Chains A and B, each alone.
Chain A
Amino acid sequence: MRRLLFESLIRPPLTEAAPRQSDAAIEELATAVDRSARRRLGRSLSIRAVDAGSCNGCELEMHALSNVFYDIERFGIRFVASPRHADVLMVTGPVTRNMAEALERTYNATPGPKWVVALGSCARDGGCFADSYAVIGGVSRVVPVDLHIPGCPPPPTEILKGLLALLDQADKGARAS
């Protein structure tokens, strides 16, 4: 173990530079982040992931955000274990009828100010599962959504772009007010 740790000290880090923010996301967010919320948030975001029916593909890429290449915590963004600690709910999947109540309850358990990020193509409109008897549809059919990040699944860089835009909006607002 000592050798591994020592190598980590002398080798250059694998972590990559931050991606540019997504323009589409900034536009969508401009209206979503209100001033009082910005002040309280500062430059950090706590995210609670909720799988409301996904195939698990989006979760894999969400996990990847924590690996050394993307190292999401350097931006002050971290995944938390409880909706009670969260600023953002990151919801994946078409919302299944069997998960709708759990999603709603999780939303209600999250203290304001809060945002909902719908991750992946299914979370936007139900994707290829939209017409099923077991599926309600996109996340916005159940809880209000502030930001959509499309993709099947969206690669980590795309997720990061969207989240950085969210942070930046929050940060700008905090300084302006």
Chain B
Amino acid sequence: MPALIAIAPESRLVGHHRPWPRAVANAAGWIAVTETLADRQRTLLGLWGEADAVHMAVFDEADGTVGVISLEGLEGNYPSVARRHPPALRLERALRDLTGLEPQGLPDSRPWLDHGRWTLRFPLGEKAIRPAEAVPYKFLPAEGESLHRIPVGPVHAGIIEPGHFRFTANGETVVRLEERLGYVHKGIEGLMTGADLGRALQLAGRTSGDSTVAYAYAFSRAAEAALGLDIPPRAVWLRALMAELERLANHLGDIGAICNDAAFSLMLAHCGALRERVLRAADAAFGHRLMRDRIVPGGVVADLDEAGAAGLRTLLAEIRRKFPALVDLYDNTASLQDRMVGTGILVPDLARLYGAGGYVGRASGRAFDVRRALPYPPYDVLRFDVPILDQGDVNARIWIRIREVEQGLSLIEQILDQLPPGPTRHDVADNGEVREGMAVVEGFRGDILVWLRLAGNRVDRCHLRDPSWFQWPLLEAAIEGNIVADFPLCNKSFNCSYSGHDL
């Protein structure tokens, strides 16, 4: 991070932070880095706090470097990032709820995750007693003639997670959507503090159920980075295999579910059958349909036997045989295309500003995939394309998924072909030191960041940043000017995580 150091010259590097550097800066240095976000030289990767410190991870797309900049020894406040860079807004509102640190100049004084119902305030900071009465939440105003409001949630009509959507509509057209989240806040980062690696991994794998592999993957890589631990080659490849199976299952499920939201249930039936086959093959190969708790610091706990591998090859053949007809069906059904094309457009400029990852970013022209931008093994030797489109509509987000299903099939085959033999797990040694590690992993939804500080084998502080943090706000922008009836389509095509976001 020489460039970051140059921007914040008074800063000092932290010795025990891996693999990317972390620098402790003064307020001027912090503000200077904030300015590089505001003028788009860098992208915000994450922003989190402790009782008296804040940390900001930034990514330089030009030279592909990552750095963390921190303010330590704070006395109750620090200069807000969102004041200059809106994508940080919800992160800072959450940071304030959790630590009690006040982001100076933050344009929104409302709480975010704290609904006034926890047993205490500031769980990650100087804990305080919560006020007796919850303060009512004020939604943003929308003014004009003939506007009406539609409140939706937190309990929704389908089998989905809870969140509240406040629509302001003029007739059928959405004028403003405001999200209110935090309903499934479980206090995962609070539970992490003081936990041993085993329990922390269990919590990480339950941050967002559909990305349980990706979270365990990211957590394990962060812990291994902190401890300087190598894992056996076979484990490296098995991890990628599980991650690709998870991506495949989720994309297949999403393609069907989005079409179903346009009342085209034939796609859901066929894609649902393929998704079920992936889960069954995963169960046969790794002993759990979602492959939960299979990746651990030091390696993996489930080895692939010959029957499991044969099952996966049968799966690949089955999907290759059936999927092209479904893609044709999607592409040639005029009534379906009529709903998808041009609906819920996210303009590329916003996707870039927010650093939106996953299919949301890649359908709006942002060519970012962690497996390519910050490659980790075995992706450095695997061949794959990162599909990019720039229309930014529901249709584009489906096509990114379709292309990624195709890439996923090829990746799984390459992994099966090249899977090295040998042990699958190394022991994690306890050296009793304080060490920090960080990892970014590409989940099916986008880039998952995990940062942690270990004291020996116990977690001192762990932060998990879901890709949804930079996608949820963009859904508010994408829906504007669409009709209320198209919201399910837009929402499902984003498929942001509630649990991963609320933590």
Contacts and interface: CB of A to CB of B under 8 A. Distances in A.
The judgment on whether A and B are partners is yes
A51 B276 contact: no
Contacts, number: 147
A67 B200 CA distance: 33
A18 interface: no
Interface string A65-78: 01111000000000
Contact of A153 (B157, B184, B209, B498): B209
A4 B329 contact: yes
Contacts of B158: 49, 79, 81
Interface in B206-232: 206-210, 212
Contacts of A127: 206
Contacts of B289: 61, 155
B162 A51 contact: yes
Nearest to B290: A57
A55 B333 contact: no
Contacts of A100: 117
B276 A67 contact: yes
A12 to B, nearest CB: 13
A56 interface: yes
Interface string B388-416: 00000000000000000000000000000
B187 A54 contact: no
B294 interface: no
Contacts of B378: none
Contacts of A135: 186-187
A96 interface: yes
Contacts of B270: 4
B186 A94 contact: yes
Nearest to A129: B186
Interface in B164-223: 182-188, 190-191, 199, 202-203, 206-210, 212
B74 interface: no
A147 interface: no
Interface size class of B (residues with CB under 8 A): 35 or more
Contacts of B266: 1, 4-5
Contacts of A82: 157
A63 B209 contact: no
B90 to A, nearest CB: 16
A129 B325 contact: no
Contact of A102 (B155, B161, B329, B332): B155
B117 A97 contact: yes
Contacts of B210: 56-57, 60
B253 interface: yes
Interface string B252-281: 010000000000001001101101100100
B118 interface: yes
A133 B190 contact: yes
Nearest to A1: B329
B123 interface: yes
A57 to B, nearest CB: 3
Contact of B273 (A69, A94, A128): A69
B209 A54 contact: yes
B187 A58 contact: no
A55 B208 contact: yes
Contact of A56 (B161, B183, B185): B161
A141 to B, nearest CB: 14
A99 B187 contact: no
Interface in A1-43: 1, 3-5, 14
Contact of A50 (B155, B187, B199, B276): B155
A129 B498 contact: no
Residue of A68, A82, A102, A152 contacting most chain B CB atoms (<10 Å): A152
B6 interface: no
A133 B290 contact: no
A14 B158 CA distance: 25
A86 B181 CA distance: 26
Nearest to B154: A102
A36 B117 CA distance: 38
B146 interface: no
6 contacts: A49-B158, A106-B155, A129-B187, A129-B191, A133-B123, A153-B209
Interface of B: 115, 117-120, 123, 154-155, 157-162, 182-188, 190-191, 199, 202-203, 206-210, 212, 253, 266, 269-270, 272-273, 275-276, 279, 283, 289-290, 292, 325-326, 329, 332-333, 497-499
Interface of A: 1, 3-5, 14, 49-64, 66-69, 79, 81-83, 93-94, 96-102, 106, 127-129, 131-135, 152-153, 155
Given A55-B499, A64-B275, A128-B199, 17 more contacts: A5-B266, A53-B186, A56-B161, A60-B290, A66-B272, A67-B269, A67-B276, A69-B276, A81-B158, A96-B184, A99-B183, A100-B117, A106-B155, A127-B206, A133-B119, A133-B190, A134-B185
